[in-house]
A = this chain, B = another copy of it.
């Protein structure tokens, strides 16, 4: 659970995002939004509804379908005094922005010997289960996590979403912010007061003793669901949410596993060469002498996400699957 005390209201994840943007745009006139159908439409997910009415089309800017074009424009704008928040509707479309983000945004500060900086945010989505098929369901955040110069945020609650997004907007580096499309309607407590959450600090979403689940974004709910089921059979699971894959709060993760001696890492991206690989390798290295058994991984099945509902459902980790795995790991199968 978060350590903040002032919890006043329940709002949705989408509202948390919108509030973060509105507050930062009020605070700093250099903050603007660029993306497809972000203005009057407020995005297809309606996450930005109302912003153009408050800030006008000079700051909430509809673009052509030019992901590379407006992302790259955002890089140049960030270098020269603007703080753009670039909206990439589906995370699958980051494929079109890799040159801008990786060869430009991530490297400019370093290549210029620290003389230019790129304070921009890319907001995009991840996650399957919407029956959107292979080109609208990917979780490709592992790619950006692999690239020095970028920071990568994966909020799992409205509280985290708001605090992390405000921090990202104020940040001096390019930050990629991944939102699970399936989470937009999820509600949670969010203080009305201004707050930010630093990048690189994990959050223990549930304390436990017997096994650690390290889970990101959408998978935090899966982990919490499994923890509930496990509690019923007397197994106490700890759920650690890194919140950012880079910087990565290694210490919180490793300490949890040292305490519980068992770990499952979960992430909605593909397992292979993905986030679960890094987390598992980290734990296996740094908690080596405390582990009771191998670290286990759960991620998307290594297939393009199928359209057909029964097939799609089979590709994603579920609380039930995690429950069964954890029960077995704790010797209760």
Contact = CB atoms under 8 A, between A and B. Distances in A.
A66 interface: no
A214 interface: no
A134 B111 contact: yes
A290 to B, nearest CB: 11
A297 B142 CA distance: 18
A288 B289 CA distance: 11
Contacts of A146: 140, 142-143, 269-270, 272-274
A274 B142 CA distance: 9
Interface string A251-278: 0000000000000000001101111111
Nearest to A288: B294
A275 B273 contact: yes
Nearest to A143: B143
A241 interface: no
B295 A285 contact: yes
The complex is assembled from copies of this chain, and their number is 2
Given A277-B281, A288-B294, A304 B145 contact: no
Contacts of A107: 134-135, 304
Contacts of A245: 273
A286 interface: yes
A6 to B, nearest CB: 35
A103 B67 CA distance: 15
A288 B294 CA distance: 6
A103 B95 contact: yes
A94 B147 CA distance: 14
Contacts of A110: 134, 303-304, 306
A257 to B, nearest CB: 12
Contact of A272 (B98, B246, B272): B246
A103 B281 CA distance: 28
Given A148-B270, A304-B107, A285 B294 contact: yes
Interface string A290-315: 01011111000011101000000000
A304 B291 CA distance: 34
A169 B272 CA distance: 24
A140 B148 CA distance: 12
28 contacts: A93-B99, A94-B98, A95-B98, A95-B99, A95-B103, A98-B98, A110-B303, A111-B135, A142-B146, A142-B273, A145-B273, A148-B304, A149-B304, A246-B272, A246-B273, A272-B278, A273-B275, A276-B281, A277-B277, A277-B280, A280-B280, A280-B281, A280-B285, A284-B284, A284-B294, A284-B295, A285-B297, A286-B294
